[in-house]
Structure 1
């Protein structure tokens, strides 16, 4: 599970200010944030060493892609790697909307995903999701302002998304139009381990597992391995 909060085209200093936690098993090999080359396109981001994709990255051209998965019970066998989607967008010259529309034909071949596609120079951002399953791909232009993306639709009112939205807004109000102290913001917002009220959880999977995943920063032991959040921040252009 993952969660991201961002402010888009609504701050005098930052066209995009984005914070994201990636929740993953600790034994899954991952490369830290660095520049890497993909077919001649320089990309800055972390990289999953199992499937080769990424969950958050940007290019030198000011394009940004952010990915979260969708919480669901059933998995798609032999699915394409969701982590390839940000890379494909960053390599592409298509606008965010054009790229999202291009996904219509094969979106069903991926497990559930939420995808943010942004081109900072053109001030264009699009949200795309292939869930609910069986429906046409959900594509929408993202309006300027504060948004939160978790494991449901963009700005869905799930407990931890609402909690992060409130905290993020308070921090932005604290700094006003001045430079944001990112380290402080990350520590106060993205390391929040407070869990939600069980009665407010969506009931998609086992209650105890949903409860363990209900904090902004997830840290829990499974029978096999530790499951924990890792956080990343991006500000301004790459």
Structure 2
């Protein structure tokens, strides 16, 4: 399902500081963050081996795309894979708004998604979602500031989103004008297993026990299909000089590992 939080053009050091937990079945084959693709459009990100797409990726020319799924009771059989949506932007030369407009026209071909597209060289960030079902897709420019995206619309006041946003603000306030270390962020914010109060769960139409299991920032739920939960945490940090680093803590063969990739936006 995933949850993301980021501060955008509103910090003295970080042009962008993005945190993202990826939630998925532990059995689904996945490649850790690395460079892949061809030529000038190489992508830095993890990769879903089964579908071929990604949940988050960035490029050296300043493109960034990430998505979360929308929590809903029934998946549409035969839907197009949502992991292709970030790739469409990352592999193109079109603006975030142009790609968002294209995606919106085909939105009903996908199960519920929230997609964020950004060009860090032009300082444009766009959000697009195909939910609520049956309504035209939403497209909006993302304003500077701190935002949280879980499994509903951008900045929806779900308890896990409120909790992550509050803790993120407190961490940034504590560090003041200093750079925030990725490992500190992960351990302080993204491993939080606190579940929502049952009387404050969102009404998504899903089984309440399933909703409760997914209501923490860090998830681990046993299902009939196997273990489902947080497989990795990524922290993307970009300063105003275009120096970027992508830190990932990820689960591989039952062991937590981590690494960092540095690059310069050109």
Range class of TM-score, shorter chain: over 0.9
Structure with more strand by fraction: 2
Q: In the comparison of the two structures, how many residue pairs are matched?
A: 238
Aligned to 2:209: 208
SS in structure 2 opposite 1:34? Answer: strand
Contact 2:20 2:235 in 1 (8 A): yes
Aligned to 2:58: 58
Deviations 1:200-223 (A, max 9, x none): 001321111111100000012113
- In the TM superposition, residue 38 of structure 1 has moved relative to its aligned partner by 4.7
Query: In 2, Cα distance between the equivalents of 1:154 and 1:68?
Result: 10
Deviations 1:114-151 (A, max 9, x none): 00100001000000001111111100000000000000
For residues 23-42 of structure 1, the aligned pairs below 5 Å read 23-38=23-38, 41-42=41-42
Higher relative contact order, structure no. (Cα contacts within 8 Å, ≥ 6 residues apart): 1
Aligned to 2:253: none
Instruction: Evaluate the alpha carbon distance shift between residue 122 and residue 40 of structure 1 in structure 2; reply closer, same or farther with a 3 A threshold.
Output: closer
Q: For the aligned residues, what is the CA RMSD?
A: 1.1
SS in structure 1 opposite 2:188? Answer: helix
Given the two structures, how large is their TM-score scaled by the length of structure 2?
0.87
Instruction: Flag as ranges the 4+ runs of structure 1 deviating above 2 A.
Output: none
For residues 11-26 of structure 1, the aligned pairs below 5 Å read 11-26=11-26
Query: In 2, Cα distance between the equivalents of 1:160 and 1:15?
Result: 25
Aligned to 1:78: 78
SS in structure 2 opposite 1:161? Answer: helix
- In the TM superposition, residue 181 of structure 1 has moved relative to its aligned partner by 1.7
Deviations 1:153-172 (A, max 9, x none): 00000010000000000001
User: Could you list the runs of 5+ residues in structure 2 that have no partner in the other structure?
Assistant: 239-243, 245-262
Query: In 1, Cα distance between the equivalents of 2:217 and 2:27?
Result: 21
Given the two structures, how large is their TM-score scaled by the length of structure 1?
0.97
Query: In 1, Cα distance between the equivalents of 2:112 and 2:150?
Result: 12
Query: In 2, Cα distance between the equivalents of 1:191 and 1:119?
Result: 29
